[in-house]
Chains A and B, each alone.
Chain A
């Protein structure tokens, strides 16, 4: 089955700096890559996603890039703010029911 690895497991950044989280996947048939954000004590929520026919997608301060050849994708957060502090999960899917999640990255934005 699909195996998604996520790095780093923890990330501390100064407010205003950028944060980058990287994920690799094993199944070349995967074609959908969402990112979920889980704030402390809250439920995971989709923040951005990308499909395999697109190399990059942006939404305000967040962006996701995809390299199908290397089988990795990354989340970029620019101008980090305290409300960006959360656990971020990447995931991969082959268009069937199943999302395979990475282990998560705990991001802390220091004021």
Chain B
């Protein structure tokens, strides 16, 4: 299960606060992704990055922001503009951004807004 890590495992946030979720990979993968997992809704893409210093919005990017300053790291910030941020967040990486490449997932961060 090594290679892609997320921290923290659990995160609690007060309403109105921004919070940053960490995602690191040592697989030398070019592409990285952030998904949100809610019960009964599968995995929904928030942001993705095919290469360092480049990223694009996914299907549910509103209220989120990312950066990709290093190949190994793709942090996600959940801003106060995200109306319903309580969810399980999964980071993934793949060797390239081509859709047929296996995506390797991190262990996830469960965010709870109090």
Taking Cβ atoms with an 8 Å cutoff, the residues of A that contact B are 1, 4, 6, 9, 32, 34, 42-46, 49, 51, 89, 93-99, 101-104
In contact, B43 and A101 (Cβ under 8 angstroms): yes
In contact, B99 and A103 (Cβ under 8 angstroms): no
Interface residues in B, total, Cβ within 8 A: 24
Which of chain A's residues has its CB closest to B97's CB?
Answer: A97
Which of chain B's residues has its CB closest to A6's CB?
Answer: B42
In contact, A101 and B90 (Cβ under 8 angstroms): no
In contact, A96 and B97 (Cβ under 8 angstroms): yes
Q: How many CB-defined contacts (below 8 Å) exist between A and B?
A: 59
Stretch at the interface among B17-25, B65-73, B75-83, B101-109: B101-109
A6 vs B108: C-alpha distance when bound (angstroms) = 23
Q: Which of B40, B44, B99 makes the CB contact (< 8 A) with A97?
A: B99
A2 vs B99: C-alpha distance when bound (angstroms) = 13
Q: Which of A42, A46, A49, A98 makes the CB contact (< 8 A) with B45?
A: A98
Which of chain A's residues has its CB closest to B108's CB?
Answer: A43
In contact, B106 and A1 (Cβ under 8 angstroms): no
In the assembled complex, 25 residue pairs joining A and B whose CB atoms fall closer than 8 Å, in A order, are A32-B99, A32-B100, A34-B102, A43-B106, A43-B107, A44-B43, A46-B103, A49-B102, A51-B100, A89-B42, A93-B99, A94-B99, A95-B100, A96-B97, A97-B48, A97-B97, A97-B99, A98-B45, A98-B48, A99-B45, A101-B44, A103-B41, A103-B42, A104-B40, A104-B42
